[in-house]
Amino acid sequence: MTLLHATDIDPGATIEADLCIIGAGAAGISIACALADSGLSIAMLAGGGEQFRHRDQMLYHGRNIGRESFAPGKARFRMFGGSTTRWAGQCRPLDPVDFEPRPGLPDTGWPIGAETLAPWYRAAAEVCDLDDWRFDPPTLTGLETHEDAAPVRYRHGHNVDFAVSYGPKLAQSNTTKVYLDTHVTGIVQAGSRISHVEATGPDGRRIRFAAGNYILATGGLENARLLLASTAGSPNGLGNERDLVGRYFMDHPFFFGGALELAPGVGPEAVDALQGYEQAGVAQRSHGAFALGEGLRRDEGLNGAAVFFVERAAHKSSEDFLSTGGVAMTRVLDVLMHRELPDGRLGRHLPALLTHPGEVGRSTLERLRGAVSKRRTLAARFTLEALPNPESRVRLDPRRHDRFGMPHVTVDWRLTRGDPGGLERLRGGLARLFADGGIGELSLHGARDADGFPVSMEGGKHHMGTTRMSTDPARGVVDPDCRVHEIDNLFIAGSSVFPTGGYVNPTLTIVALALRLADHLRGRTGAAASKAGQA
What pLDDT does residue 444 have? 86
What does residue 378 show for φ and ψ, rounded to 5 degrees? -90, 100
Where does residue 17 rank: exposed (0-12), middle (13-18), buried (19+ CB within 10 A)?
buried
Q: List the CATH number of the domain containing 360.
A: 3.50.50.60
Give the pairing type, strands 62-64 and 183-190. Answer: unpaired
Return d(Cα 405, Cα 392) in angstroms, integer: 25
Query: Is residue 185 helix, strand or coil?
Result: strand
Q: Which domain holds residue 185?
A: 2-534
Q: C-alpha angle 76/413/378, rounded to 5°?
A: 70
- Cα 457 to Cα 17, 83, 143, 253, distances in angstroms: 45, 22, 29, 6
pLDDT of residue 283: 44
Query: What does residue 175 show for φ and ψ, rounded to 5 degrees?
Result: -110, 0
Q: How far apart are CA 121 and CA 512, in angstroms?
A: 5
Report the domain count for the chain.
1
Contact 214, 230 (CB under 8 A): no
Element (H, E) at 274: helix 268-275
pLDDT of residue 158: 87
Per-residue pLDDT of the chain (535 residues; tens, 9 = 90+): 688 999 999 999 999 999 999 999 999 999 999 999 999 999 999 999 999 999 999 999 999 999 999 999 999 999 999 999 999 899 999 999 999 999 999 999 999 999 999 999 999 999 999 988 889 888 777 677 888 999 999 999 988 999 999 998 888 888 999 999 999 999 999 999 999 999 999 999 999 999 999 999 999 999 999 999 998 777 789 999 999 999 999 999 999 998 988 888 887 776 776 777 654 443 457 888 999 999 999 999 999 999 998 889 999 999 999 999 999 999 999 999 989 999 988 888 999 999 999 999 999 999 998 888 888 888 999 999 999 999 999 999 999 999 999 999 999 999 999 999 999 999 999 988 888 888 888 888 889 998 999 999 999 999 999 999 999 999 999 999 999 999 999 999 999 999 999 999 999 999 999 999 999 999 876 544 333 333 3
- CB burial of residue 130 (10 Å; 0-12, 13-18, 19+): buried
What pLDDT shows up at residue 277?
62
Beta bridge partners of 214: 20, 490
Say which amino acid occupies 311.
E
Q: How far apart are CA 11 and CA 7, in angstroms?
A: 8
Closest CA to 152 of 326, 7, 294: 294
Q: What pLDDT is attached to residue 489?
A: 97
What totals of helices (H) and strands (E) does the chain contain, helices first? 12, 19
Return d(Cα 454, Cα 69) in angstroms, integer: 13
Closest to 107 (Cα-Cα) out of 465, 522, 368? 465
3-state secondary structure of 297: helix
The per-residue DSSP string of 209-263 comes to EEEEEEEE-S-TTHHHHHHHH--TT-TT-TT-TTS-TTBS-B---EEEEEEEEEP
Distance CA 530, CA 533 (A): 5
User: How far is Cα 158 from Cα 150, in angstroms, rounded to an integer?
Assistant: 27
Phi, psi of 318 (to 5 degrees): -80, 160
**How do 206-216 and 193-200 pair as beta strands?**
antiparallel
C-alpha closest to that of 3 among 39, 57, 37, 48: 48
Burial (Cβ within 10 Å: 0-12, 13-18, ≥19) of residue 15: buried
Beta bridge mates, 411: 64, 394
pLDDT of residue 293: 94
389 and 416 in contact (C-beta within 8 Å)?
Answer: yes
Query: What local confidence, expressed as pLDDT, does residue 529 receive?
Result: 39
What's this model's pTM, rounded to 2 decimal places?
Answer: 0.95
Picking from 128, 362, 131, 392, the residue whose alpha carbon sits closest to that of residue 250 is 392
3-state secondary structure of 7: helix
Predicted pLDDT of residue 280 = 45
Question: Which stretches of 66-205 are assigned E, i.e. beta strand?
Answer: 90-91, 150-156, 176-180, 183-190, 193-200
As a whole number of angstroms, the distance between CA 8 and CA 14 comes to 13
Query: According to the model, what pLDDT value does residue 311 have?
Result: 87
For 338, residues 6+ apart whose C-beta sits below 8 A from its C-beta are none
Residues contacting residue 293 through CB under 8 Å, at least 6 positions apart = 146, 147, 148, 150
Strands 206-216 and 407-412: unpaired
On whether the CB atoms of residues 394 and 411 are closer than 8 A, the answer is: yes
